[in-house]
Structure 1
Amino acid sequence: MINKALPYYLEDRSGLYTGSDFDDIYDRLFLRVARPSASPTDGPPTALMIYNVGRRSSNQRDYRPVQREPAVALEFGSNGTLGRISFMGTSMSLPMNQYLKKISLFGGSLVRKFEASNGEEYRWTYKSDSEHEWSCTDSRNYIVAHYSLKPPNKPAFRTSGNVLTINEAHASLAIELLASLTIMRHIAAYHL
């Protein structure tokens, strides 16, 4: 029996969590993480917006403002501290520490869980295996998404080499997976 389900391979164009386009190589999904237009581009982000942009970005970084409302707003505190996550179009807005919870009181910050809109619990883990920088597993410990940056010593031909992979069965959670991954990468960047 042949598995016809294709994961979503979202090429992360810049590799920077503070601003990048995520384009599926099969043209099914196009997401963008960007700072608000009036936000300073240096220093810790005060806010990041996640958009479902509906079209592929060009090979050159596309800096035009997005002509859509964001799907998610991530607001950070001073000096990069965690702030709030807000899902636009819903009334869901809560502190990031409540959305992405540590697994245990004395556990590390780079393993956290969240409850998605489908009612299931998912867990992001940093470098839990040698193949991926970040892995997201469900309650049965199946990998539903993973993220990898291109190693600096490997060439990339006409692609960035940075990829967020989401299993097809979890594509409806793509915005939530990208939002939670963005927060996890912020936690890692600022040692929170």
Structure 2
Amino acid sequence: MASRTLPYFLEDRSGQLASTELDDIYDRLFLRIATAPAHTGLPGTSTVTIYTADRRSSRQRDHRPQGKPTVVLDFGHNGGLGKISFVGSSVSMPMSHYLKKTAMFGTSLSRKFRASDGEEYKWTYRTLHNQEWTCMDSKGYIVAHYNLKSPEKPAFNTSGNVLTIYDPYAHLVIEILASLTIMRHIEAHNL
């Protein structure tokens, strides 16, 4: 019987869009999302950064991200879409080109993106039972899904907010998180 690697189960500590830590429950991966001063300096703009960390946030004395971000999301005036920058690869583009609507007159909460592996992936909002956000590949296989804990459910030593990324797509963790962050921003700002 072949051994299989477990998916990444990234607990989203706060569930907040622009200020949280996502830690794999098996301590394999630790990510941070933080707000930063806007690069443009224009009033009404905001910048969100994504960092890869070397340990779980609850084990750190200082919860502020250290080092350079992996992804920088510069949002436009009054929450509008701006620019996404992948720091290590120097790739930068407008968010509207990175995450495109799946249909011209369709909902803004169904968008697709082309990842660094050359494949196309699609995020949808509340289209599958028990999944707030679902990411699928072009063949319809689930790549990742994100769930916020329902307010009526009790939490026992966990936030209950989880981003699950399946093993075949582990190489896309940063892109999946960046695209999910933009999708959640689109939903929160009714874009």
TM range, normalised to the smaller chain?
Answer: over 0.9
Structure 1 residues 139 and 87, CA gap change in structure 2 (3 angstroms): same
Q: Report which stretch shifted further, 121-130 or 3-12.
A: 3-12
Amino acid at match of 1:140: K
Instruction: Give unpaired runs (5+ residues) of structure 2.
Output: 39-43
> Is the Cα–Cα contact under 8 Å of residues 81 and 95 in structure 2 kept in the other structure?
yes
Residue 133 of structure 1 pairs with residue 138 of structure 2: no
Deviation at 1:91, TM superposition (A): 2.4
Return the letter of the residue paired with 1:17.
Answer: L
Query: What SS class does the counterpart of residue 82 from structure 1 fall into?
Result: coil
Partner of residue 147, structure 1: 146
Identity across matched positions, percent = 58
- Look up the match of 1:30: 30
Q: Which amino acid aligns with 2:124?
A: T
Q: Distance in 1 between matches of 2:45 and 2:21?
A: 17
CA distance in 2 between partners of 1:139 and 1:176 (Å): 16
| 1:58 and 2:63 aligned | no
Q: CA RMSD of the aligned region, Å? A: 1.7
On the 8 A contact 1:35/1:45 being kept in 2, the answer is no
Name the CA distance, whole Å, in 2 between partners of 1:143 and 1:3.
20
Aligned-pair CA distance for 1:4 = 2.3
Aligned to 2:11: 11
For residues 83 and 62 of structure 2, what CA distance do their matches in structure 1 show? 25
Instruction: Give the CA deviation at 1:131.
Output: 1.2
In the alignment, which residue of structure 1 is the partner of 2:41?
none
Aligned residue for 2:101? 102
Equivalent position of 1:178 in the other structure: 177
Partner of 2:48: 48
Contact map agreement 2:45 2:77 (CA 8 A) in 1:
no
- Cα distance in 2, alignment partners of residues 72 and 50 from structure 1: 5
CA distance in 2, matches of 1:26, 1:65: 22
Structure 2 residue identity aligned to 1:53: A
CA contact (8 A) 1:18 1:45 kept: no
Q: For structure 1, list consecutive stretches of 5 or more residues without a partner in the other structure.
A: none
How many residue pairs align between the two structures?
Answer: 186
TM-score normalised by the chain length of structure 1: 0.92
Aligned amino acid, residue 34 of structure 2: A
Where do 4+ consecutive residues of structure 1 move more than 3 Å?
Answer: none
Distance 2:14 2:166 in 1: 22
- Classify the secondary structure of the residue corresponding to 1:136: strand
